[in-house]
Amino acid sequence: NSKPSYDDQQEIEELISSLPKGKGWHSSGLTLYQNFWCHSKFLPGVISFQRHFLARDSDVLIASKPKSGTTWLKSLAFSVLYRAQFNPTEANANHPLLSSNPHALVRTLELGQSAGHAPDLSGFADPRLFGTHVPYDSLPYSIRRSRCKVIYICRNPLDVVVSLWHFVAQVDAGDRAGGWSGMEEYFDNFCKGMDGYGPFWDHLLGYWKASQERPKKVLFLKYEDLKEDTAGNLKRIAEFMGVPFSDEEERNGVVEEIVKMCSLGSLKELEVNKTGRSIAGFENNSYFRKGEVGDWVNYFSLSMAERLKNIMEEKLSHFGLTF
């Protein structure tokens, strides 16, 4: 089972060691690369992905900043795209989502890679469904050039920070939550743009602009909208992917079945999501917490919230993006 390998491993390592560093989680911190802060641990994989991934026109990519609803969107997109193969309507005990974590089914392309190795994707049949956290402008050229489709999910950054903080506390627990003095310090770095794949405003804007310029290529979703009308947005996702629900499917309740199967309550209770680890090495249960809109009110002082809201207003509202 040999992976294709390339002779650029040393060059990648030298490049990374020459780049600016910042504090992150995973102990290893962040590296500033192509104007975004990348978890240093994952950067070799990001560069290999950029250099060696070849998109196909039939590919679908789930893109997000971490903690924006990636796991949820992956499970929804998987259920929709492969519903002819895996029937989500019967109490189908064989549905892959009941026995595999969504990240195992929809692989994040830059994770689990080492420098000098291209992702081994030989086991994936068309249409392929993948994930990525890489900013739009840093995606492999073949993704931007081909007709493959990208579905982006974003979330109110206030809730993203809260979600991230809990995630960091869990996955970096052995390292006193990555060496952070507390949530205030973590929040401060986030507001300065220093967090994984951030600044968050650049990440959002890259995909937002692409969705405005190329609406058939990039679908831009918000976690909050998906919560408010999951079924309606699921139909948008299906249409966008080129596999709309038929009238008969709608009459038979397929949309509702998928919504139910992919709900936080259902996924969280599955044995597979209570145990084991993802390809990135994180515990599967760390991807499922509260899933609420506005949880930030329980964590931020008014002045903290005001600070982040002002940044969002300043960076995003000019482009018609609000939360």
Residues marked as catalytic: 133
User: Which residue's entry shows tokens 């795209």?
Assistant: 81
At residue 296, the 3 state secondary structure works out as: helix
**Binding of ligand A3P by 72 (CB under 6 A):** yes
**Binding of ligand A3P by 192 (CB under 6 A):** no
**Binding of ligand A3P by 163 (CB under 6 A):** yes
Residue 217 vs 289, nearer CB to ligand A3P? 289
**Binding of ligand A3P by 68 (CB under 6 A):** yes
116: left (phi over 0), alpha (psi -120 to 50) or beta: left
Among 24, 44, 45, 66, binds ligand A3P (CB under 6 A): 66
Spatial CA neighbour of 163 closest among 285, 291, 36: 291
Q: How far apart are CA 278 and CA 284, in angstroms?
A: 6
**Binding of ligand A3P by 274 (CB under 6 A):** no
Phi, psi of 27 (to 5 degrees): 55, -40
Please choose, out of 21-29, 31-39, 169-177, 290-298, the segment that lies near ligand A3P by the rule CB under 6 A.
Answer: 290-298
H helix or E strand, kind and range, residue 21: strand 21-22
**Closest distance of CB 117 from ligand A3P, Å:** 25
**Binding of ligand A3P by 25 (CB under 6 A):** no
CA-to-CA separations, 90 to 93, 101, 254, in angstroms, rounded: 8, 20, 9
Among 59, 110, 159, 195, binds ligand A3P (CB under 6 A): 159
Site residues, ligand A3P (CB under 6 A): 64, 66-72, 159, 163, 166, 262-264, 267, 287-291, 295
